[in-house]
C-alpha cells in the first residue's frame, strides 16, 4: 500500500513539474515573439519621449502619455505619485506574488547635438535659467521598454500567475532645490503597498557596453552618493604677516591631502570601492588678504553601508584634527544622498538564469559603478535586482561612444528588444517560481 502511494506521489510530482516546465516554455516563447512583434512600437514610443523631454518633477506631458496608455490596457491607475509619477497595477487571473517593475521618466538640462529626425528642440527653466533639455541618459528608452512589457503582460493576463506594479518614477536625476520627489517620495507615499510588492526589478540602458549585453552583479552595484561641505574657520589678517592670523587656505590644502588618505590608507578597498573627491574650494577676495574662512565642497561614493558610515566618521575626525593642528576650527556638514544600489544576493542568484536565457553569453557579471541611482530606495524596502542593458551604437567605434549626460549621447535602439524580454522574463519567472 505504501509503495503504491509512493509511486502515485511520484507520478503527481512529475506531472506538476512537467506542467510548470511547459508553462515556463510557453511564457518564454510568448515573451520572445511579442518583444519582436512590438519592437517598432517600442522604438516609436522612445522617439516620442526623446523628442519631448521634461525635467525632474516637471514630467507633466510624459505622465499623461503614460497614464493614457496604461488606461487603454484596462489597469488600475494612480497618477500624481511623488508629484508626477504614474503607477499601473495589473492583476493576473491566477494567484501569485506581486512584482514591481520600474522605469524613470525625467530628462536632463543638457543640449542635444545628435542630429536625428526626433532630436529635441526643447528648453525649460532650471535653477532660474532657461536651458536646453534632452534625454541624455536613456530614461526615454526605459519608459518605452516598460510600456512594452505592460502591453505584453496585459494581453495575456488570463494566464498571469500574480500581480505586476508598473512604476513610472519622476525625478531620478534629483529634485530641484527645496523640493521633494523621486523614489524616496514614492516609497513614503506607499508605492510598495496595497498590494504589497514582494520584489522589484529595474534596468538602465548603458551606452558604453555592447548592444544587447546584460550586466549584473549581486550586492553593491551602484554607489551611495553623499555631498559634504567643510568650512574652515581661521583668523583674517594681512597677507604680509600670516603669523598674526590663522590661515584657512593652507588648512584647506592640508585637508584635501588628508581626505585622500582616508581612501588610500584607511579603507579596506578589497571589500568594496570608495571615492572621496573635493570638487570645489572657495576662499578669499584678493591677493594680499588671508581670509577668515575657506570652504571645501565634494562628493563621497561608497558601495557598502557599513563603509559609508565609517568614511563619514573618518572625514569628521580628519577635518577636526587637521584644523586643530593649524589653530583653526572646522564645521563638517555631510548631506546624505542616494543609498547604495544593493542587489539582494539571493534574488540575484535566483534570477541570473532568466537573464542568461535572454542574453546568452552576453549576460555577464560586471564590476560595480560609482555612479548613483535612487532605485536604491525601493531596494531598502523589498528585495530588488537592478541590471544594465548595453546599447552602444553599432555605427560608432566603441572608444568613441559618448558617455551618459553629454550632448552627444546616443543609443542603439535595437537593444531595447533585449530589455523588454529581460524585464518581462524576470517578472514571469519569479511569479512561476512563487505562485500558489
Assess contact for 192 and 102: CB atoms under 8 A: no
Q: Residues 54, 172, 173, 344: which is the catalytic one?
A: 172
H or E stretch at 314? helix 305-325
Candidate list 59, 104, 106, 173, residue with the active-site label: 106
SS3 letters across 153-177: HHCCHHHCEEEEEEEEECCCCCCCC
Rounded Cα distance, 325 and 139, in Å? 48
- Sign, CA dihedral 425-426-430-435, equals negative
CA angle 68, 72, 73 (to 5 degrees): 125
Q: Angle formed by the axes of helices 2-37 and 416-434, to 10°?
A: 160
Q: Pairing relation of β-strands 214-216 and 363-365?
A: parallel
Q: Annotated catalytic, 180?
A: no
End-to-end Cα separation, the chain, in angstroms: 30
Task: Please say if 172 is a catalytic residue.
Answer: yes
Q: How far, in Å, are 228, 250, 255, 272, 286 from residue 322 at the CA level?
A: 17, 11, 7, 26, 25
Q: What are 425's three cell numbers?
A: 522574463
Q: Within 10 A of 305 (CB to CB), how many other CB atoms are there? A: 15
Cell of 133: 533639455
Nearest CA-CA partner of 431 in 76, 98, 30, 197: 98
- 262 and 314 in contact (C-beta within 8 Å)? yes
Q: Which three cell numbers stand for residue 353?
A: 538564469
Strands, E assignment, 178-305: 199-206, 214-216, 219-222, 224-233, 237-238, 274-283, 289-290, 293-302
Question: CA angle at residue 422 from 149 to 45, to 5 degrees?
Answer: 40
Cell numbers at 358, concatenated: 535572454
Cis upstream peptide for 284 (omega within 30°): no
Q: Name the nearest CA neighbour of 109 among 185, 47, 173, 63.
A: 173
Which residues participate in catalysis according to the annotation?
106, 172
Amino acid at each position: 500500500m505504501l509503495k503504491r502511494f509512493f509511486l502515485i506521489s511520484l507520478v503527481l510530482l512529475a506531472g506538476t513539474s512537467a506542467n510548470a516546465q511547459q508553462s515556463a516554455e510557453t511564457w518564454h516563447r510568448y515573451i520572445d515573439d511579442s518583444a519582436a512583434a512590438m519592437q517598432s512600437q517600442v522604438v516609436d514610443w522612445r522617439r516620442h519621449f526623446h523628442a519631448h523631454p521634461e525635467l525632474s518633477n516637471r514630467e507633466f506631458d510624459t505622465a499623461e502619455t503614460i497614464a493614457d496608455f496604461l488606461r487603454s490596457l484596462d489597469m488600475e491607475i494612480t497618477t500624481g505619485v511623488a508629484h508626477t509619477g504614474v503607477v499601473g497595477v495589473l492583476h493576473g487571473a491566477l494567484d501569485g506574488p506581486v512584482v514591481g517593475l520600474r522605469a524613470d521618466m525625467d530628462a536632463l538640462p543638457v543640449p542635444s547635438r545628435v542630429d536625428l529626425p526626433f532630436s529635441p528642440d526643447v528648453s525649460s527653466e532650471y535653477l532660474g535659467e532657461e536651458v536646453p533639455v534632452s534625454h541624455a541618459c536613456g530614461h526615454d528608452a526605459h519608459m518605452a521598454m516598460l510600456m512594452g512589457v505592460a502591453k505584453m503582460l496585459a494581453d495575456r493576463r488570463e494566464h498571469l500567475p500574480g500581480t505586476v506594479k508598473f512604476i513610472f518614477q519622476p525625478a531620478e536625476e534629483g529634485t530641484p532645490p527645496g523640493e521633494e520627489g523621486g523614489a524616496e517620495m514614492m516609497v513614503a507615499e506607499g508605492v510598495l503597498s496595497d498590494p504589497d510588492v514582494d520584489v522589484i526589478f529595474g534596468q538602465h540602458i548603458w551606452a558604453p557596453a555592447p548592444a544587447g549585453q546584460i550586466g549584473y552583479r549581486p550586492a553593491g552595484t551602484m554607489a551611495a552618493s553623499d555631498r559634504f561641505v567643510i568650512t574652515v574657520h581661521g583668523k583674517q589678517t594681512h597677507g604680509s604677516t600670516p603669523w598674526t592670523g590663522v590661515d584657512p587656505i593652507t588648512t584647506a590644502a592640508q585637508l584635501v591631502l588628508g581626505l585622500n588618505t582616508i581612501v588610500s590608507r584607511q579603507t579596506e578597498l578589497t571589500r568594496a570601492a570608495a571615492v572621496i573627491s573635493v570638487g570645489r574650494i572657495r576662499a578669499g577676495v584678493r591677493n594680499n588678504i588671508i581670509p577668515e574662512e575657506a570652504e571645501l565642497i565634494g562628493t563621497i561614493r561608497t558601495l557598502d553601508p557599513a563603509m559609508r558610515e565609517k568614511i563619514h566618521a573618518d572625514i569628521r575626525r580628519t577635518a577636526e584634527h587637521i584644523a586643530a593642528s593649524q589653530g583653526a576650527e572646522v564645521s563638517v556638514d555631510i548631506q546624505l544622498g542616494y543609498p547604495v544600489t544593493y542587489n539582494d544576493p539571493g534574488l540575484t542568484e535566483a534570477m541570473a538564469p532568466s537573464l542568461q536565457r535572454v542574453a546568452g553569453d552576453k549576460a555577464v557579471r560586471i564590476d560595480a559603478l560609482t555612479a548613483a541611482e535612487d532605485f536604491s530606495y525601493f531596494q531598502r524596502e523589498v528585495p530588488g535586482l537592478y541590471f544594465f542593458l548595453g546599447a552602444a551604437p553599432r555605427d560608432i567605434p566603441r572608444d568613441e561612444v559618448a558617455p551618459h549626460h553629454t550632448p552627444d549621447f546616443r543609443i542603439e535602439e535595437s537593444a531595447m528588444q533585449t530589455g523588454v524580454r529581460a524585464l518581462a522574463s524576470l517578472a514571469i519567472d519569479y511569479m512561476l517560481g512563487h505562485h500558489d
